[in-house]
Structure 1
Amino acid sequence: MANTELHRARAWWETVKTVAFALLLAGLFRTVLFQPFWIPSGSMKETLLIGDFLFVNKFAYGWSRWSCPMGLCPFEGRLWETLPERGDIVVFHHPISGDDYVKRLIGLPGDQIELRRGQIWLNGTPIPQRPDGDFVETAAPQGPGGHQPRCQNRPVAGGDCRKARSIETLPNGVSYPVLNITDRAFGDTTTSYTVPPGHVFVMGDNRDNSLDSRFEQAQGGVGFVPLENLIGRADRVLFSSAGSSLLAFWTWRGDRFFHALN
Protein backbone atom coordinates (compact mmCIF):
# COMPACT_ATOMS: atom_id res chain seq x y z
CA MET A 1 0.00 0.00 0.00
CA ALA A 2 2.80 2.36 0.93
CA ASN A 3 4.61 1.68 -2.35
CA THR A 4 1.43 2.41 -4.32
CA GLU A 5 0.92 5.75 -2.55
CA LEU A 6 4.58 6.65 -3.09
CA HIS A 7 4.27 5.83 -6.78
CA ARG A 8 1.15 8.01 -7.08
CA ALA A 9 2.89 10.89 -5.29
CA ARG A 10 5.87 10.65 -7.63
CA ALA A 11 3.59 10.48 -10.66
CA TRP A 12 1.66 13.52 -9.43
CA TRP A 13 4.89 15.43 -8.86
CA GLU A 14 6.19 14.54 -12.33
CA THR A 15 2.92 15.81 -13.82
CA VAL A 16 3.23 19.10 -11.91
CA LYS A 17 6.82 19.55 -13.12
CA THR A 18 5.83 18.79 -16.72
CA VAL A 19 2.97 21.30 -16.66
CA ALA A 20 5.16 23.94 -14.99
CA PHE A 21 7.91 23.40 -17.57
CA ALA A 22 5.40 23.64 -20.43
CA LEU A 23 4.00 26.90 -19.02
CA LEU A 24 7.51 28.27 -18.60
CA LEU A 25 8.38 27.42 -22.21
CA ALA A 26 5.11 28.98 -23.41
CA GLY A 27 5.85 32.13 -21.41
CA LEU A 28 9.39 32.36 -22.77
CA PHE A 29 8.12 31.74 -26.32
CA ARG A 30 5.58 34.56 -25.99
CA THR A 31 7.96 36.94 -24.23
CA VAL A 32 11.15 36.41 -26.19
CA LEU A 33 10.20 35.09 -29.63
CA PHE A 34 6.63 35.53 -30.89
CA GLN A 35 3.37 37.02 -29.66
CA PRO A 36 -0.05 36.06 -31.06
CA PHE A 37 -2.14 38.93 -32.42
CA TRP A 38 -5.69 39.06 -33.80
CA ILE A 39 -6.64 41.81 -36.25
CA PRO A 40 -9.76 43.47 -34.80
CA SER A 41 -10.24 46.39 -37.22
CA GLY A 42 -10.00 47.28 -40.89
CA SER A 43 -7.33 50.00 -40.66
CA MET A 44 -4.77 47.85 -42.54
CA LYS A 45 -6.98 46.50 -45.33
CA GLU A 46 -6.29 44.95 -47.73
CA THR A 47 -2.92 43.87 -46.35
CA LEU A 48 -4.53 42.69 -43.11
CA LEU A 49 -8.19 41.73 -42.81
CA ILE A 50 -10.44 41.60 -39.76
CA GLY A 51 -10.07 38.10 -38.35
CA ASP A 52 -6.47 37.54 -39.46
CA PHE A 53 -4.37 35.76 -36.83
CA LEU A 54 -0.61 36.23 -36.84
CA PHE A 55 2.47 35.88 -34.70
CA VAL A 56 4.53 39.01 -34.14
CA ASN A 57 8.29 38.57 -34.57
CA LYS A 58 9.54 40.03 -31.28
CA PHE A 59 13.27 39.73 -31.97
CA ALA A 60 13.13 41.74 -35.22
CA TYR A 61 14.08 44.99 -33.45
CA GLY A 62 15.50 43.74 -30.16
CA TRP A 63 13.65 43.65 -26.84
CA SER A 64 12.12 46.48 -24.81
CA ARG A 65 10.03 46.53 -21.66
CA TRP A 66 6.95 46.05 -23.86
CA SER A 67 8.29 42.71 -25.07
CA CYS A 68 6.89 41.35 -21.82
CA PRO A 69 3.16 41.25 -21.02
CA MET A 70 1.99 44.51 -19.38
CA GLY A 71 5.45 46.01 -19.88
CA LEU A 72 7.00 43.99 -17.07
CA CYS A 73 10.45 43.49 -18.61
CA PRO A 74 12.79 45.08 -16.04
CA PHE A 75 14.83 47.39 -18.28
CA GLU A 76 14.59 50.67 -20.17
CA GLY A 77 15.34 51.28 -23.84
CA ARG A 78 16.00 48.28 -26.10
CA LEU A 79 18.38 45.37 -25.87
CA TRP A 80 20.19 44.42 -29.11
CA GLU A 81 18.30 47.19 -30.88
CA THR A 82 17.87 47.05 -34.65
CA LEU A 83 16.25 50.01 -36.38
CA PRO A 84 13.09 49.08 -38.32
CA GLU A 85 12.80 49.75 -42.03
CA ARG A 86 10.29 51.88 -43.88
CA GLY A 87 7.40 49.71 -45.00
CA ASP A 88 7.60 47.26 -42.08
CA ILE A 89 4.26 46.22 -40.58
CA VAL A 90 4.81 46.93 -36.91
CA VAL A 91 2.86 46.08 -33.77
CA PHE A 92 3.33 48.58 -30.98
CA HIS A 93 2.06 49.57 -27.56
CA HIS A 94 -0.08 52.72 -27.74
CA PRO A 95 1.61 55.42 -25.63
CA ILE A 96 -1.67 56.45 -23.95
CA SER A 97 -4.40 53.80 -24.19
CA GLY A 98 -2.11 50.83 -23.51
CA ASP A 99 -3.66 48.86 -26.39
CA ASP A 100 -1.59 47.06 -29.01
CA TYR A 101 -1.87 48.55 -32.51
CA VAL A 102 -0.69 47.38 -35.93
CA LYS A 103 0.29 49.89 -38.65
CA ARG A 104 2.81 50.35 -41.45
CA LEU A 105 6.00 52.22 -40.65
CA ILE A 106 6.42 55.19 -42.98
CA GLY A 107 8.89 57.53 -41.26
CA LEU A 108 12.12 57.02 -39.31
CA PRO A 109 13.77 59.46 -36.87
CA GLY A 110 14.61 62.71 -38.64
CA ASP A 111 12.27 62.14 -41.60
CA GLN A 112 10.06 64.99 -42.76
CA ILE A 113 6.57 63.81 -43.76
CA GLU A 114 3.64 65.65 -45.28
CA LEU A 115 0.43 64.53 -47.00
CA ARG A 116 -0.97 66.41 -49.98
CA ARG A 117 -4.37 65.21 -51.23
CA GLY A 118 -3.68 61.69 -50.03
CA GLN A 119 -0.11 61.42 -51.34
CA ILE A 120 2.83 61.15 -48.97
CA TRP A 121 5.76 63.51 -49.41
CA LEU A 122 8.84 62.05 -47.72
CA ASN A 123 11.78 64.40 -47.20
CA GLY A 124 10.48 66.68 -49.94
CA THR A 125 9.88 63.91 -52.52
CA PRO A 126 6.41 62.55 -53.42
CA ILE A 127 5.91 58.82 -52.85
CA PRO A 128 4.49 57.39 -56.11
CA GLN A 129 1.06 55.80 -56.17
CA ARG A 130 -0.07 53.70 -59.15
CA PRO A 131 -3.86 53.19 -59.57
CA ASP A 132 -4.72 49.48 -59.33
CA GLY A 133 -8.47 49.07 -59.67
CA ASP A 134 -10.73 48.49 -56.68
CA PHE A 135 -10.61 46.46 -53.49
CA VAL A 136 -13.93 44.64 -53.27
CA GLU A 137 -15.48 43.03 -50.18
CA THR A 138 -18.99 42.12 -49.10
CA ALA A 139 -21.08 44.80 -47.41
CA ALA A 140 -21.79 42.73 -44.31
CA PRO A 141 -20.80 42.68 -40.62
CA GLN A 142 -17.21 41.51 -40.07
CA GLY A 143 -15.53 39.80 -37.14
CA PRO A 144 -16.72 39.31 -33.55
CA GLY A 145 -17.51 43.04 -33.28
CA GLY A 146 -19.80 42.98 -36.30
CA HIS A 147 -18.09 46.01 -37.89
CA GLN A 148 -19.62 47.22 -41.14
CA PRO A 149 -17.00 48.04 -43.79
CA ARG A 150 -16.80 51.58 -45.09
CA CYS A 151 -17.30 51.82 -48.84
CA GLN A 152 -16.62 54.30 -51.61
CA ASN A 153 -19.90 53.32 -53.23
CA ARG A 154 -23.27 52.79 -51.48
CA PRO A 155 -24.02 49.07 -51.77
CA VAL A 156 -27.09 47.30 -50.47
CA ALA A 157 -26.57 44.74 -47.69
CA GLY A 158 -24.69 41.78 -49.11
CA GLY A 159 -23.56 43.71 -52.18
CA ASP A 160 -20.08 44.68 -53.30
CA CYS A 161 -18.35 47.26 -51.11
CA ARG A 162 -15.70 49.01 -53.22
CA LYS A 163 -12.68 51.14 -52.38
CA ALA A 164 -10.20 52.63 -54.86
CA ARG A 165 -6.84 50.86 -54.62
CA SER A 166 -3.38 52.16 -55.48
CA ILE A 167 0.07 50.61 -55.17
CA GLU A 168 2.40 52.80 -53.12
CA THR A 169 6.18 52.32 -53.38
CA LEU A 170 8.63 53.66 -50.80
CA PRO A 171 12.19 54.74 -51.69
CA ASN A 172 13.60 51.42 -50.45
CA GLY A 173 11.44 49.53 -52.98
CA VAL A 174 8.75 48.24 -50.58
CA SER A 175 5.36 48.24 -52.36
CA TYR A 176 1.91 47.64 -50.92
CA PRO A 177 -1.74 48.49 -51.66
CA VAL A 178 -3.40 51.53 -50.10
CA LEU A 179 -7.14 52.18 -50.15
CA ASN A 180 -9.14 55.38 -50.57
CA ILE A 181 -12.74 55.77 -49.48
CA THR A 182 -13.28 59.49 -49.89
CA ASP A 183 -11.35 62.67 -50.56
CA ARG A 184 -11.20 64.69 -47.38
CA ALA A 185 -9.31 67.71 -46.15
CA PHE A 186 -8.70 66.30 -42.66
CA GLY A 187 -6.07 63.54 -42.91
CA ASP A 188 -5.53 63.60 -46.67
CA THR A 189 -3.74 66.94 -46.44
CA THR A 190 -1.60 67.70 -43.41
CA THR A 191 1.06 70.00 -42.09
CA SER A 192 4.69 68.90 -42.29
CA TYR A 193 5.81 66.51 -39.56
CA THR A 194 9.42 66.00 -38.50
CA VAL A 195 9.88 62.66 -36.75
CA PRO A 196 11.75 63.30 -33.48
CA PRO A 197 14.75 61.22 -32.34
CA GLY A 198 13.79 57.85 -30.88
CA HIS A 199 10.38 57.79 -32.61
CA VAL A 200 8.72 56.56 -35.82
CA PHE A 201 5.76 57.64 -37.94
CA VAL A 202 3.12 55.01 -38.78
CA MET A 203 0.01 54.89 -40.98
CA GLY A 204 -2.71 52.41 -41.86
CA ASP A 205 -2.99 51.12 -45.43
CA ASN A 206 -6.76 51.79 -45.34
CA ARG A 207 -6.01 55.48 -45.16
CA ASP A 208 -9.50 56.87 -44.50
CA ASN A 209 -10.21 54.30 -41.81
CA SER A 210 -7.06 54.64 -39.71
CA LEU A 211 -6.21 56.72 -36.65
CA ASP A 212 -2.44 56.85 -36.86
CA SER A 213 0.53 59.24 -36.61
CA ARG A 214 -1.30 61.85 -38.68
CA PHE A 215 -3.50 62.44 -35.65
CA GLU A 216 -2.36 63.49 -32.20
CA GLN A 217 -3.20 61.34 -29.22
CA ALA A 218 -5.73 63.93 -28.07
CA GLN A 219 -7.56 63.35 -31.38
CA GLY A 220 -7.67 59.59 -30.83
CA GLY A 221 -4.57 58.94 -32.95
CA VAL A 222 -1.16 57.67 -31.91
CA GLY A 223 1.12 60.58 -32.80
CA PHE A 224 4.80 59.72 -33.03
CA VAL A 225 5.47 56.23 -31.66
CA PRO A 226 8.51 55.77 -29.38
CA LEU A 227 10.90 53.10 -30.65
CA GLU A 228 10.74 51.59 -27.17
CA ASN A 229 7.04 50.89 -27.71
CA LEU A 230 7.59 48.66 -30.75
CA ILE A 231 6.67 45.07 -29.86
CA GLY A 232 7.74 43.49 -33.12
CA ARG A 233 7.19 43.00 -36.84
CA ALA A 234 4.29 41.18 -38.49
CA ASP A 235 5.63 38.90 -41.22
CA ARG A 236 2.96 36.29 -41.95
CA VAL A 237 -0.74 35.55 -41.41
CA LEU A 238 -1.07 32.05 -39.96
CA PHE A 239 -4.86 31.73 -39.95
CA SER A 240 -7.86 33.83 -40.95
CA SER A 241 -11.58 33.74 -40.24
CA ALA A 242 -14.17 36.11 -41.69
CA GLY A 243 -16.93 35.12 -39.26
CA SER A 244 -17.93 36.19 -35.78
CA SER A 245 -16.62 32.97 -34.24
CA LEU A 246 -13.49 30.92 -34.71
CA LEU A 247 -15.70 27.82 -34.71
CA ALA A 248 -17.54 28.98 -37.84
CA PHE A 249 -15.29 26.93 -40.11
CA TRP A 250 -17.32 27.83 -43.21
CA THR A 251 -16.01 31.42 -42.84
CA TRP A 252 -12.33 30.44 -42.75
CA ARG A 253 -10.20 32.08 -45.45
CA GLY A 254 -8.10 29.16 -46.63
CA ASP A 255 -6.21 31.31 -49.12
CA ARG A 256 -4.76 33.37 -46.23
CA PHE A 257 -3.36 30.48 -44.19
CA PHE A 258 0.44 31.05 -43.88
CA HIS A 259 0.05 34.13 -46.08
CA ALA A 260 3.28 36.19 -46.30
CA LEU A 261 2.93 39.94 -45.68
CA ASN A 262 4.53 42.75 -47.69
Structure 2
Amino acid sequence: MDKNDFTRIELAAGWVDVYDFGEVRLHTYRTADPIDDEVFVVEKGGRGFVIEMPCFFDSITALEGYLRDAGIDVEGIVASYHMAGASFLAGTPVFATREADVYGHSGGGRALIDNFAGAFSDAFDSSIATVTDVIEGDELELAGVRMSIVRTSEAFDLEIPEIDALYTHMLGHDCHSIVASPGHADAIVAQLRGYLERGIGLVLTSHYTPEDLKDVRTKIDYLEDLKAIAAECVGAEEFKAAVQNRFPGYSGGNYLDMTSGFFFA
Protein backbone atom coordinates (compact mmCIF):
# COMPACT_ATOMS: atom_id res chain seq x y z
CA MET A 1 0.00 0.00 0.00
CA ASP A 2 1.31 3.44 -1.01
CA LYS A 3 1.18 5.81 1.96
CA ASN A 4 -0.07 8.52 -0.44
CA ASP A 5 -2.94 6.42 -1.87
CA PHE A 6 -5.94 7.69 0.09
CA THR A 7 -9.18 9.67 -0.12
CA ARG A 8 -9.35 12.78 2.09
CA ILE A 9 -12.48 13.91 3.93
CA GLU A 10 -12.39 17.32 5.64
CA LEU A 11 -14.03 17.62 9.07
CA ALA A 12 -14.90 20.63 11.21
CA ALA A 13 -11.74 19.86 13.18
CA GLY A 14 -9.00 18.14 11.18
CA TRP A 15 -9.51 15.61 8.41
CA VAL A 16 -9.74 11.87 7.71
CA ASP A 17 -7.68 10.02 5.09
CA VAL A 18 -9.25 6.72 4.05
CA TYR A 19 -7.05 3.84 2.81
CA ASP A 20 -8.91 1.06 0.98
CA PHE A 21 -7.51 -2.46 1.42
CA GLY A 22 -10.53 -4.13 -0.13
CA GLU A 23 -12.29 -5.93 2.67
CA VAL A 24 -10.72 -3.64 5.27
CA ARG A 25 -10.56 0.16 5.31
CA LEU A 26 -8.24 2.27 7.43
CA HIS A 27 -9.53 5.69 8.47
CA THR A 28 -6.71 7.91 9.72
CA TYR A 29 -7.96 10.96 11.60
CA ARG A 30 -5.57 13.90 11.74
CA THR A 31 -6.93 16.00 14.58
CA ALA A 32 -4.90 19.14 13.75
CA ASP A 33 -4.95 19.83 17.48
CA PRO A 34 -2.11 21.55 19.39
CA ILE A 35 -0.24 18.25 19.88
CA ASP A 36 -0.88 16.91 16.36
CA ASP A 37 -2.67 13.74 17.37
CA GLU A 38 -3.52 10.99 14.93
CA VAL A 39 -6.31 8.50 15.65
CA PHE A 40 -6.96 5.35 13.61
CA VAL A 41 -10.18 3.51 12.83
CA VAL A 42 -9.98 0.03 11.30
CA GLU A 43 -13.23 -0.95 9.60
CA LYS A 44 -14.31 -4.30 8.22
CA GLY A 45 -17.83 -4.78 6.91
CA GLY A 46 -19.23 -1.82 8.83
CA ARG A 47 -17.72 -3.02 12.12
CA GLY A 48 -14.69 -1.27 13.50
CA PHE A 49 -12.36 -0.42 16.32
CA VAL A 50 -10.41 2.72 17.20
CA ILE A 51 -6.70 2.90 18.01
CA GLU A 52 -6.07 5.65 20.59
CA MET A 53 -8.42 8.52 21.37
CA PRO A 54 -8.65 12.19 20.45
CA CYS A 55 -8.15 14.27 23.59
CA PHE A 56 -9.37 17.75 22.63
CA PHE A 57 -13.10 18.31 22.82
CA ASP A 58 -13.37 19.72 19.27
CA SER A 59 -11.65 16.63 17.89
CA ILE A 60 -13.81 14.30 19.96
CA THR A 61 -16.97 15.89 18.57
CA ALA A 62 -15.64 15.79 15.00
CA LEU A 63 -14.59 12.14 15.05
CA GLU A 64 -17.76 10.96 16.77
CA GLY A 65 -19.76 12.73 14.05
CA TYR A 66 -17.66 11.15 11.32
CA LEU A 67 -18.10 7.64 12.73
CA ARG A 68 -21.83 8.19 13.03
CA ASP A 69 -22.16 9.51 9.46
CA ALA A 70 -19.99 6.69 8.08
CA GLY A 71 -22.16 4.11 9.84
CA ILE A 72 -19.21 2.41 11.54
CA ASP A 73 -20.23 0.28 14.52
CA VAL A 74 -17.29 0.72 16.91
CA GLU A 75 -16.76 -2.42 19.01
CA GLY A 76 -13.86 -1.16 21.08
CA ILE A 77 -11.08 1.35 21.65
CA VAL A 78 -7.50 0.11 21.86
CA ALA A 79 -5.72 2.57 24.17
CA SER A 80 -1.97 2.26 24.43
CA TYR A 81 -0.01 5.50 24.78
CA HIS A 82 -2.97 7.95 24.89
CA MET A 83 -5.41 7.50 27.76
CA ALA A 84 -6.81 11.06 27.89
CA GLY A 85 -10.13 11.92 26.26
CA ALA A 86 -12.34 9.52 28.19
CA SER A 87 -15.50 11.33 27.04
CA PHE A 88 -14.88 9.97 23.52
CA LEU A 89 -17.46 7.30 22.64
CA ALA A 90 -18.47 7.01 26.29
CA GLY A 91 -19.48 3.47 27.22
CA THR A 92 -17.39 1.80 24.50
CA PRO A 93 -15.12 -1.01 25.81
CA VAL A 94 -11.48 0.06 26.25
CA PHE A 95 -8.72 -2.52 25.66
CA ALA A 96 -5.17 -2.18 27.02
CA THR A 97 -2.40 -4.16 28.67
CA ARG A 98 -1.76 -3.80 32.38
CA GLU A 99 1.47 -1.94 31.61
CA ALA A 100 -0.37 0.59 29.42
CA ASP A 101 -2.98 1.03 32.14
CA VAL A 102 -0.24 1.95 34.62
CA TYR A 103 1.51 4.19 32.08
CA GLY A 104 -1.70 6.12 31.44
CA HIS A 105 -2.94 6.44 35.00
CA SER A 106 0.20 6.90 37.08
CA GLY A 107 3.27 6.68 34.82
CA GLY A 108 4.78 8.78 32.06
CA GLY A 109 1.51 9.02 30.17
CA ARG A 110 -0.20 10.50 33.21
CA ALA A 111 2.57 13.07 33.59
CA LEU A 112 2.04 14.19 29.99
CA ILE A 113 -1.72 14.42 30.53
CA ASP A 114 -1.20 16.63 33.57
CA ASN A 115 1.16 18.87 31.59
CA PHE A 116 -1.26 19.18 28.70
CA ALA A 117 -4.16 19.92 31.03
CA GLY A 118 -2.21 22.82 32.48
CA ALA A 119 -1.18 24.10 29.06
CA PHE A 120 -4.49 23.80 27.20
CA SER A 121 -7.05 24.24 29.99
CA ASP A 122 -10.71 23.68 29.08
CA ALA A 123 -10.03 22.73 25.46
CA PHE A 124 -8.33 19.51 26.60
CA ASP A 125 -10.23 16.48 27.94
CA SER A 126 -7.93 15.40 30.77
CA SER A 127 -10.26 12.63 31.94
CA ILE A 128 -8.47 9.29 31.74
CA ALA A 129 -10.15 6.25 30.23
CA THR A 130 -10.98 3.26 32.40
CA VAL A 131 -9.64 0.04 30.92
CA THR A 132 -12.57 -2.36 30.78
CA ASP A 133 -10.78 -5.24 29.05
CA VAL A 134 -7.21 -6.10 30.03
CA ILE A 135 -5.17 -7.70 27.25
CA GLU A 136 -3.40 -10.66 28.83
CA GLY A 137 -2.08 -12.51 25.78
CA ASP A 138 -0.20 -11.51 22.67
CA GLU A 139 -3.18 -11.39 20.32
CA LEU A 140 -6.42 -9.44 20.14
CA GLU A 141 -9.32 -9.65 17.70
CA LEU A 142 -11.85 -6.86 17.23
CA ALA A 143 -14.38 -6.34 14.43
CA GLY A 144 -13.11 -9.50 12.76
CA VAL A 145 -9.54 -8.16 12.51
CA ARG A 146 -6.64 -9.89 14.26
CA MET A 147 -3.84 -7.94 15.89
CA SER A 148 -0.57 -8.94 17.50
CA ILE A 149 0.35 -7.22 20.75
CA VAL A 150 3.98 -6.08 20.89
CA ARG A 151 4.76 -5.07 24.46
CA THR A 152 7.15 -2.16 24.97
CA SER A 153 8.87 -0.62 27.99
CA GLU A 154 5.93 1.76 28.43
CA ALA A 155 2.83 0.23 26.87
CA PHE A 156 2.40 -1.74 23.63
CA ASP A 157 2.46 -1.55 19.85
CA LEU A 158 0.07 -3.30 17.46
CA GLU A 159 0.76 -5.30 14.32
CA ILE A 160 -2.18 -5.67 11.93
CA PRO A 161 -1.18 -8.28 9.32
CA GLU A 162 -4.40 -7.98 7.30
CA ILE A 163 -3.39 -4.46 6.20
CA ASP A 164 0.38 -4.98 6.54
CA ALA A 165 0.60 -2.21 9.13
CA LEU A 166 2.11 -1.57 12.52
CA TYR A 167 1.04 1.01 15.09
CA THR A 168 3.57 2.56 17.47
CA HIS A 169 3.63 5.78 19.46
CA MET A 170 5.98 8.01 17.50
CA LEU A 171 8.00 8.05 14.29
CA GLY A 172 7.72 11.24 12.20
CA HIS A 173 10.55 11.28 9.68
CA ASP A 174 10.76 15.10 9.76
CA CYS A 175 9.51 15.68 13.28
CA HIS A 176 11.39 15.72 16.56
CA SER A 177 10.57 12.92 19.00
CA ILE A 178 10.49 12.62 22.77
CA VAL A 179 13.69 10.73 23.63
CA ALA A 180 14.51 10.23 27.30
CA SER A 181 18.21 9.33 27.04
CA PRO A 182 20.86 7.90 24.70
CA GLY A 183 19.84 4.46 25.95
CA HIS A 184 16.24 5.20 25.06
CA ALA A 185 17.40 6.25 21.58
CA ASP A 186 19.19 2.90 21.23
CA ALA A 187 16.02 1.05 22.23
CA ILE A 188 13.99 2.95 19.62
CA VAL A 189 16.60 2.24 16.95
CA ALA A 190 16.49 -1.49 17.76
CA GLN A 191 12.71 -1.39 17.49
CA LEU A 192 12.84 0.41 14.14
CA ARG A 193 15.42 -2.01 12.75
CA GLY A 194 12.95 -4.75 13.58
CA TYR A 195 10.39 -3.03 11.33
CA LEU A 196 12.93 -3.06 8.50
CA GLU A 197 13.63 -6.75 9.00
CA ARG A 198 9.93 -7.61 8.91
CA GLY A 199 9.25 -5.40 5.89
CA ILE A 200 6.27 -3.58 7.42
CA GLY A 201 4.20 -1.79 4.75
CA LEU A 202 2.69 1.09 6.72
CA VAL A 203 3.84 2.50 10.05
CA LEU A 204 1.03 4.22 11.95
CA THR A 205 1.86 6.61 14.78
CA SER A 206 -0.24 8.79 17.03
CA HIS A 207 1.49 12.05 16.04
CA TYR A 208 2.02 11.68 12.30
CA THR A 209 0.39 10.54 9.09
CA PRO A 210 1.13 6.96 7.92
CA GLU A 211 4.76 6.37 6.95
CA ASP A 212 6.81 3.66 5.25
CA LEU A 213 10.20 1.96 5.57
CA LYS A 214 12.01 4.85 3.88
CA ASP A 215 10.77 7.04 6.73
CA VAL A 216 11.91 4.42 9.26
CA ARG A 217 15.45 4.61 7.88
CA THR A 218 15.36 8.41 8.09
CA LYS A 219 14.31 8.21 11.74
CA ILE A 220 17.10 5.79 12.58
CA ASP A 221 19.62 8.27 11.14
CA TYR A 222 18.02 11.07 13.19
CA LEU A 223 18.32 9.13 16.43
CA GLU A 224 21.95 8.22 15.78
CA ASP A 225 22.71 11.87 15.06
CA LEU A 226 20.89 12.89 18.22
CA LYS A 227 23.23 10.75 20.33
CA ALA A 228 26.32 12.04 18.55
CA ILE A 229 25.27 15.66 19.04
CA ALA A 230 24.52 15.08 22.73
CA ALA A 231 28.00 13.61 23.25
CA GLU A 232 29.54 16.89 22.08
CA CYS A 233 27.34 19.25 24.12
CA VAL A 234 27.52 20.33 27.76
CA GLY A 235 23.99 21.64 28.30
CA ALA A 236 20.40 21.56 27.13
CA GLU A 237 20.43 24.87 25.25
CA GLU A 238 23.62 24.03 23.35
CA PHE A 239 22.19 20.63 22.47
CA LYS A 240 18.85 22.08 21.34
CA ALA A 241 20.55 24.67 19.12
CA ALA A 242 22.82 22.03 17.57
CA VAL A 243 19.90 19.71 16.81
CA GLN A 244 17.91 22.56 15.26
CA ASN A 245 20.91 23.45 13.10
CA ARG A 246 21.31 19.82 11.99
CA PHE A 247 17.56 19.37 11.29
CA PRO A 248 16.17 22.73 10.12
CA GLY A 249 12.48 22.78 9.38
CA TYR A 250 11.62 19.84 11.64
CA SER A 251 8.30 20.18 13.44
CA GLY A 252 7.71 19.12 17.05
CA GLY A 253 9.78 21.80 18.74
CA ASN A 254 8.04 21.07 22.02
CA TYR A 255 9.25 17.46 21.79
CA LEU A 256 12.81 18.67 21.26
CA ASP A 257 12.44 20.83 24.38
CA MET A 258 11.48 17.74 26.34
CA THR A 259 14.33 15.68 24.89
CA SER A 260 16.83 18.42 25.70
CA GLY A 261 15.60 18.46 29.28
CA PHE A 262 15.83 14.70 29.58
CA PHE A 263 19.33 14.47 28.11
CA PHE A 264 20.66 17.25 30.33
CA ALA A 265 18.53 17.02 33.44
TM-score by length of 1: 0.27
Q: Report the structure, 1 or 2, having the larger helix content.
A: 2
Q: Report the structure, 1 or 2, having the larger strand content.
A: 1
Q: Which structure exhibits the higher relative contact order, with contacts defined as CA atoms closer than 8 Å and separated by 6 or more residues? A: 1
Structure of higher CA gyration radius: 1
